[in-house]
């Protein structure tokens, strides 16, 4: 068995290059997508980080930029954590449990996301209400993640099941197993981790999977999930190929936020030092917030919808994210991987300064200024509706980061800079 690396990056083969085996779905083939080495025609794999509704708005802007260039049709794999999982749940639900084309995203899905993120609280005192206090009762003390799942179904309309999801693109919803300490993934035809075992016919509510992915330790606490007793397979950590049937070590499992394991969601679509096979353009959209000032988090912040985790968790998560980012960028800059990192908090001017790209001073008037970028980054990691102005700022920031990174670092493939249109 392959030895596990300290960060878990070597314990599984990338899903895109797994061998076919009993119960394992074949790699999707998307008509019209080239797999040659030209980045302008490569399939796209997306990793959308956690970060509450701030991350959801940022990623919505990133997807808008991709849609403006008709790139959503090239997406073959998506990997999400926390706020990224909430966003894609809403995207899929809005589009009838299918991945939208670029025109559909711009015309219908993005306006719906804007309305949802600016009008509907997910987990606040106002969202729960007095009736909810009586209805959820002790669950508000011990099982808040399950309350979030119910509110996702009721307030955001996330009523489908995992099996309703499309097989293309392959969407991995990332959580963290309390039992094994590994990254637990849900997809249309699979759930589990390499140590616990994998089940290839999951019948789980999409709201439960998304809530598990966003279940910040101790703030929302673990989402406890009842599992089927049969249908589990022990798998090869390197190839993901089923080896034999197995009995699960438990029939009820606790799942934490995917960010407890890795907040970028990269592992499902990328392995450090390895070129994806088949070739793909990898995009990591990182909307993680900065490490908060010591002593600034309140234990009552959850009542306002804020996901302020324990200090130790925040420090560890920040360090893991930094390491993952550096490994990814090392492979991009070294030519092992073709891709891009869209990092929240980086302005157009920041990118220009780092790369030495000349730009007329007046042209910066077309972009968010550095103060607005910092304000977008400082938006709380929470689950409450944001103001329309905050959504505009954060989504526009995502759009502009995606645009400047693509047109600066992958200019041969993406030469045309686009401007934000509300």
Return the active site residues. Answer: 82, 226
Taking the C-alpha atoms of residue 405 and residue 414, their distance in angstroms, rounded to an integer, is: 10
Taking the C-alpha atoms of residue 410 and residue 404, their distance in angstroms, rounded to an integer, is: 10
Closest by CA position to 260, among listed 325, 195, 307, 313 = 313
Taking the C-alpha atoms of residue 220 and residue 383, their distance in angstroms, rounded to an integer, is: 11
Taking the C-alpha atoms of residue 71 and residue 40, their distance in angstroms, rounded to an integer, is: 10
Q: What is the 3-state secondary structure (H, E, C) of the chain?
A: CCCCCCCCCCCCCCHHHCCCCCCCCCCCCCCCCCCCCCHHHCCEEEEECCCHHHHHHHHHHHHHHHHHCCCHHHEEEEEEECHHHHHHHHHHHHCCCCCCCHHHHHHHHHHHHHHHHHHCCCCCHHHHHHHHHHHHCCHHHHCHHHHHHHHHHHHCCCCCEHHHCCCCCEEEEEEEECCCCCEEEEECCEEEECCCEEECCCCCEHHHHHHHHCCCCCCCCCEEEECCCCCEEEECCCCCCEEEEECCCCCEEEEEEHHHCCCCCCCCCCCCCCCCCCCCEEEEEECCCCCCCCCCCCCCHHHHCECCCCHHHHHHHHHHHHHHHHHHHHHHHHCCCEEEEEECCCCHHHHHHHHCCCCCHHHHHHCCCHHHHHHHHCCCCECCCCCHHHHHHHHHHHHHHHHHHHHHHCCCCCCCCCCCCC
Count CA atoms closer than 13 A to 242's CA, side-chain side: 18
| Distances in whole angstroms, Cα of residue 365 to Cα of each of 95, 400, 419 | 35, 13, 11
Taking the C-alpha atoms of residue 257 and residue 220, their distance in angstroms, rounded to an integer, is: 9
Contact 345, 377 (CB under 8 A): yes
């Amino acid at each position: 068995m392959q030895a596990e690396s300290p960060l878990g990056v070597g314990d599984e083969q990338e899903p895109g290059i797994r061998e076919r085996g009993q119960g394992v779905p074949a790699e999707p083939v998307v008509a019209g997508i080239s797999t040659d080495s030209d980045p302008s025609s490569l399939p796209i794999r997306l990793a959308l980080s956690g970060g509450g509704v701030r991350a959801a708005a940022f990623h919505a802007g990133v997807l808008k930029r991709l849609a403006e260039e008709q790139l959503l049709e090239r997406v073959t794999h998506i990997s999400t954590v926390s706020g990224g999982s909430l966003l894609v749940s809403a995207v899929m639900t809005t589009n009838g449990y299918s991945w939208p084309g670029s025109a559909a995203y711009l015309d219908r899905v993005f306006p719906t996301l804007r309305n949802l993120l600016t009008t509907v609280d997910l987990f606040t005192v106002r969202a729960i209400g007095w009736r909810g206090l009586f209805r959820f009762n002790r669950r508000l003390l011990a099982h808040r993640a399950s309350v979030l799942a119910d509110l996702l179904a009721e307030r955001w309309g996330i009523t489908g099941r995992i099996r309703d999801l499309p097989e293309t693109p392959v969407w991995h919803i990332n959580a963290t197993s309390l039992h094994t300490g590994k990254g637990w993934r849900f997809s249309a035809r699979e759930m589990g981790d390499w140590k616990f075992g994998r089940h290839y016919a999951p019948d789980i509510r999409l709201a439960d999977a998304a809530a598990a992915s966003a279940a910040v330790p101790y703030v929302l606490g673990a989402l406890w999930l009842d599992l089927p007793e049969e249908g589990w397979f022990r798998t090869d950590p390197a190839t993901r190929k089923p080896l034999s049937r197995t009995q699960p070590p438990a029939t009820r499992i606790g799942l934490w936020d995917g960010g407890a394991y890795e907040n970028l969601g990269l592992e499902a679509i990328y392995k450090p030092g390895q070129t994806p096979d088949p070739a793909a353009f990898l995009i990591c959209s990182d909307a993680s917030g900065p490490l908060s000032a010591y002593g600034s988090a309140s234990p009552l912040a959850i009542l306002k919808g804020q996901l302020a985790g324990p200090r130790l968790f925040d420090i560890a998560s920040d360090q893991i994210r930094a390491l993952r980012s550096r490994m990814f960028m090392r492979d991009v800059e070294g030519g092992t991987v073709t891709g891009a990192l869209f990092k929240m908090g980086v302005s157009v001017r920041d990118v220009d300064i780092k790369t030495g790209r000349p730009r007329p001073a007046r042209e910066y008037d077309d972009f968010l200024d550095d103060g607005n970028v910092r304000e977008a980054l400082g938006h709380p990691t929470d689950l409450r509706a944001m103001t329309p102005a905050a959504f505009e700022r954060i989504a526009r920031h995502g759009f502009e980061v995606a645009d400047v990174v693509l047109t600066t670092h992958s200019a041969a493939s993406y030469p045309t800079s686009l401007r934000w249109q509300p």
